[in-house]
Each structure stands twice: as C-alpha cells, then as structure tokens.
Structure 1
Amino acid sequence: MKRYGHGLVPGAFHPPHAGHHHLVRTARDRCERLTVVVRGSASDTPPLEQRVAWMREIHPDVLVVGAGAEDVYAGPERVDAVFVAEPHPSEPHPSEPYPSEPYPLGAYGAETGAETVLVHPEHALSDTAVREDPAAFWDFLEPPVRSALTRRVVVLGAERTGVTTMALALADHYRRRGGVWARTRYVPDHARAYGGPALAELRSSDFPVIAQGQAEREEAAARDGSPVLLCDTDAFAAAIRHERYTGTTSTATAAVAAHGRQHLWLLTDHRGVDCADADRLRPWMTARLLTQLTRTGRRTAVLTGPHEERLAAAVAAVDALLAEGPHLTEPLPELR
C-alpha cells in the first residue's frame, strides 16, 4: 500500500462521528504526517472552536487546525495526498464531509500535484441524520462529543424535600427505556460524601471544592452515559447552600456554577413533604432557589404534590427537553 509524506483530511466534522474517525485513522496510518482541517465558523452549533478541540482530543497524534469559510489551508510544506471517503454502497449520496466529487485541491493549497485518496467508509453514516437525532447514533460518537450533546438535568431543593429520591427515580425511569438509554447515569450529591461532616459543619472554603468536585463527576458521567444525565444538585445549588449555612455569598462557588453545562433544573417544593424536624429555613431555601433560578434564566420546573405527581411532571419536563434536541445547525454549503 502506497505511503505518503504529508497527508490532508478536510471536512466540517459537524459533529465528528465514527465515519470521520475511520477516515482520519486510515489516513494517519498511510502518512508520515497528517493534517486535519476542520471547516466552519464561530456561529455554527457546535462552533468551529469546539469541533477543533474535539478532534484534537480524539486524534492527539495528528495536527488539527481550524479554517473559516474564506480561509485556505497553508501548511508548512507541500501536501502529498488529500484523503476523502468514497460513497458507501448503501448510501449513493454521501454526506458531508464526504463529497461525491473530490475536494478541489486548490482550495487547500495543494496545487502541487497532491493525490486524491478515496477511503471506503466502515459505516453508512449521514451527517444530517446524526445532527437531527444524535441519540440514534450515540454509539458512533466519542466521549467528548457525547458529553457536549448530553442533556443534563439537575434535581435540587431544600433539605429533606425528596431531591435524591426524585433523581434516582428519574434515572431508573430512563434506564427502563432500554437500548442506549439503559446507560443513563445518576450523579450523587458530592457534598454528602465530602469529608464526612454534616452540611452545617462545612467551612466556607469547602463549598467551591465541593462544587468543583460535583462538576467533575458530572462531566465524567456525561462522557460515559446516555443522552440524558440526572444530577443530584449541582454547583449552582452549592452556591445557594453556602448562603443557607454561612449567611454570605461565595464568589468562588458562583464562579464554578457559571461554567456549568446543565439544561434543566427540577425544583422539589418543600410543601407536602413531611419532615419530623422541619425548620423555618426550608421555605427560605425553596424561595431562594426559585428566585435565583429565575433571575439567572435557568430553565426550571417546580415539582409539587405527592411523589407520583412529581415524577410525572419531571418526566414530562425532561421529555420536552429531549424532544428539542441539541439544536445542531446545518453547516454552510461551502463547508460541506
């Protein structure tokens, strides 16, 4: 099999999936050096910068660069071969970035006689189909892409209002759907396991550490789970807890919350939940959470009534979120 000095793989990778990775790995095995050019713009969803970061993580042994609609590739040396995928027998009209005609090499600075190498794809994957229904192609996506596309749902509320019970019930509900949904993950409340002390015994400096730990566990679960992730509280809730137990705000904890990637917050109401040692701060906590959720524009559903009604309302809110999808935009025609 012929080998090349410097190979080039261009494409939108919008989003990158198993077909793209097969193309890149095939090219890498046949070249001394390989450059992957990711085409797009900051206005895309996902944006060019994120797709470049994904490809760099997934393919650390190749050079990955980004190029806008008006840019051309200008590498440090000549390109010997441009790798593109040939049409799959079961897909007569291959999707982006697999063109039915080879890329015009001049657009990538390869006027010096670079050879076009067609690679037979392993899977007949349509980029458009993946964008429209990522869940249907979940197993063809790598961990960083799954993490970004996972719909993250947070259950939060005052103490002893059924937060953990609800988060676990929701995770079980979606696992029962089977298939890829059977891998639905639940992220427990990190504060419960942090150092062992009760919440009231935590120091102010503990809260940002707890918030960061919660965020890291959430990220790990999103990379390894299903298209939905259920979280028992989050960094935002940790910031409100800081107010609850110290009487002051925590800038450091709020900073962790500001970088969160959650999509829906389910607030468990304290009313109707029996609590032998209920205190006056439960109503305050519920009101404060709702006020801050609303003020910061977080998508929120308040869960009231008995458990069965709360679970039904929670499932309806999560299903509505999932039905909307991750809103992946179509790439510009010149970038396909």
Structure 2
Amino acid sequence: MKRFGTALVVGKFCPLHRGHQYLLDRAQAACEQLVIVSYTRPEFPGCEPERRERWLAALYPRATRLVVDDARLAAYGVALPPNEASDEEHRAFVAWLLREVLHVDVEAVFTSEAYGDGFAASLSRAQGERGGPAVMHVCVDAARSAIPVSGTAVRADVHRARASLDPLVYGDFVRRVAILGGESTGKSTLAAQLANALGTVHAAEYGRELWEHKQGRLVADDMLPIARTQVAREEQLAPTAQRFLLCDTTPLTTLLYAQAMFGHACPELEALAQRPYDEVLLCAPDVPFIQDGTRRDEAFRAWQHQWYLRELAARGVRYRLLTGGWQARTAMALGLLSAPAI
C-alpha cells in the first residue's frame, strides 16, 4: 500500500534533469497519485512551457501535470509570481493552483530544499481552512549526493551535461540542420560527411529509399507517408545525436516532388513543409550533374533550385547557400556550423 494518497512536486524543470527525476520517482513510488506543477518567471531559453509539458508527459504519463505561464493564467486574472518573490507569495500561489485550477488536496509535498517544511506548513493551513488534510514534507537527497546536478550547471552547457538529461530531453537541444538542394548536388553525401566530421548522426532521405523500393513507381498517396516518415526519423535520432542532427531533405522536399509529379499536395503535407529547422543549408547546382539512372536532367535540377529559392524566401526562412566543389562546400558547411548560433 502506498504511503500517501496524493503527493505534490513543484519545480521549474528548466530543463528537466536526472536530479528532478530522482525526486519525482521517489514521490511517485510513495503515492497513489502524483501532482506535478511547473512554472517560472522569467522563462529560460529552450525550456518553454510546451517543451516542459512534453517532457513530463512522456516521462510521467500517470501523473497529474500542470505547466503554467501568464498566458495560460490570463483567463483567471492571475499572474505568475516572479522567481525572486517571497516564499510566502510562491506558497500562496501554489495553494491557489491546487484549489482553483486542479481542484485537489495533497497529503505530502516532496522537495530537496530547506524550504520544504515551511511549504508543507503553509499548504496545511490553506487546506485546513476548507477541511482538507495536513501536508507532510518529505525531503529527498537534500545534499544532492545521489544525483549531483543543478539546473544552472546544465543550462550553462547542456551538451557537456547531456549525461544529466534523459535522452528525450536532450534531443530538444540538438540543432536540426536541414540540407536541401536539387538532384545531384551532393545532399546525401554531405549529410553523411558532416555527421561523421561532427561526431553525430544523420537522418537519411526516406523518399529516395521508397522510390528505389517501388522501382520509381511512386503515386500521390506516397507523398504524405514519405514526409511523416522523414519527421519520425528525425525525432527518433535526435536523442542519440551530439549537438547536431543532419537532415538529408525535409518535408519541404516532399512538397516539391508532390507538386512537380502530381500538381498538388494535401493540407497535412503543406503543414509539415512548414517544419522549422535551426539551420538550412541549400546546395547550389554548380557541380557537375551526374546521371545515376534515377535522376531526370540538369534542367529539372535548375528548376528545383529556383523552386527552393522562391519557397524559402516566401516562408521567410534564413538559409546558407553552399557553392563550389565537393570539398569546398563541405568545408563551408563545417565553418557555418562551428560558428556560434544566432
């Protein structure tokens, strides 16, 4: 039998790291229902509410989760307390969330902090005013000896601290690099070479694989599955990547072929083609065209390049144009990726 009916953990989780997970795991093992509340003001880059929700949902699907910001509280006419607000202000805010938003009483609050006893006492008073239970504080690894990690240290260099993050969380800090270009501009070779040089992985072009499997007999209904699979590959590989994930084409490429081959694309494919990337590298058609038996011709390659230029401009996507010979464009790409992100 569990020690508590309902237990509470409150944190910024910016980002969610293994120290947080140790606390959450201990709380979940001790209660029938775990309540997780996350908020911060200000927000931290890369740890937006949507991401924190996704991390918590994936790792703690059985918990009751509440991630809030000012936008989500606007309907209640309430604003988040700033991180530097007094303990009492934060305690009153959490008590309000439990009462007015979650409609739940808790029997225990789990923390790794010295403020835990006062937090539990404050929640006890708030719940007691309406006949609710007293709240016990359960302190977990206050010395941080079990999992010696801090959010500040992780934020300082998330890649150096990747061992302190679940792969699912780390994957959200990997920079996705899209490699686009017409046929015979070296995209696939470049993706593999860059991944090798950077010590990471690349998402291979699924559309080409399906084309070969079907011996060139693609139909319009193949286009959406191609884009979906390409995205799924990226999501599967991101947690295993190191700093960068090289993406050999994107759903934008699938949209190009849907329009070129069939004259139309479904709304979902149009939406997937809006998928953002941290860097976009466009390979110029200024290298010799090599006919491998599967490609069309140089005129089509030129048309593809103009299509990319037009579409990227229309979508307001910043891109880097790679020119010159094979070695030159590889060196150019490595130089661009080694520069600080802006």
Task: Tell me whether the two structures share a fold, i.e. TM-score over 0.5.
Answer: yes
Q: Output the CA distance in 2 between the equivalents of 1:138 and 1:159.
A: 37
Distance 1:190 1:41, change over 3 A: farther
Q: Equivalent residue of 1:135, what SS? A: coil
Runs of 4+ in 1 over 4 A off after TM superposition: 41-45, 107-112, 247-250
- Is the Cα contact below 8 Å between 2:98 and 2:104 reproduced in 1? no
Find the counterpart in structure 2 of residue 230 from structure 1.
246
Of 61, 69, 73, which aligns to 2:98? 73
User: Deviations along 1:140-182, whole A, 9 cap, x unmatched?
Assistant: 222332232211111111111111110000000011xxxxxxx
Q: Output the CA distance in 2 between the equivalents of 1:28 and 1:51.
A: 18
Counting matched residue pairs gives 299
Q: TM-score, normalised by structure 1?
A: 0.80
Could you tell me which amino acid in structure 2 is paired with residue 58 of structure 1?
L
Distance 1:324 1:107, change over 3 A: farther
Once the two structures are TM-superposed, the CA of residue 206 in structure 1 deviates from its matched residue by: 1.7
Cα RMSD after superposing both structures:
2.6
Are 2:226 and 1:210 equivalent residues in the alignment?
A: yes
Distance 1:241 1:77, change over 3 A: closer
Find the counterpart in structure 2 of residue 29 from structure 1.
29
Q: Output the CA distance in 2 between the equivalents of 1:292 and 1:77.
A: 50
Are 2:154 and 1:133 equivalent residues in the alignment?
A: no
Distance 1:316 1:107, change over 3 A: farther
- Is the Cα contact below 8 Å between 1:263 and 1:299 reproduced in 2? no
Are 2:188 and 1:164 equivalent residues in the alignment?
A: yes
Q: Output the CA distance in 2 between the equivalents of 1:280 and 1:255.
A: 28
Distance 1:49 1:171, change over 3 A: closer
Distance 1:250 1:319, change over 3 A: farther
Distance 1:310 1:4, change over 3 A: same
Once the two structures are TM-superposed, the CA of residue 23 in structure 1 deviates from its matched residue by: 0.3
Find the counterpart in structure 1 of residue 7 from structure 2.
7
Of 295, 303, 315, which aligns to 1:284? 303
Per mean C-alpha deviation after superposition, the further-off stretch among 222-231 and 233-242 is 222-231
Of 269, 279, 300, which aligns to 1:264? 279
Are 2:134 and 1:113 equivalent residues in the alignment?
A: yes
Percent sequence identity is 28
Q: Equivalent residue of 2:231, what SS? A: helix
Please identify the structure whose Cα radius of gyration is greater. Answer: 2
Find the counterpart in structure 2 of residue 245 from structure 1.
261
Once the two structures are TM-superposed, the CA of residue 224 in structure 1 deviates from its matched residue by: 2.9
Are 2:191 and 1:190 equivalent residues in the alignment?
A: no
Q: Output the CA distance in 2 between the equivalents of 1:77 and 1:305.
A: 64
How do 1:86-105 residues align onto structure 2 when only pairs under 5 Å count? 86=113, 100-102=114-116, 104-105=119-120
Q: Comparing both structures, which one devotes a greater share of its residues to helix?
A: 2
Distance 1:110 1:119, change over 3 A: farther
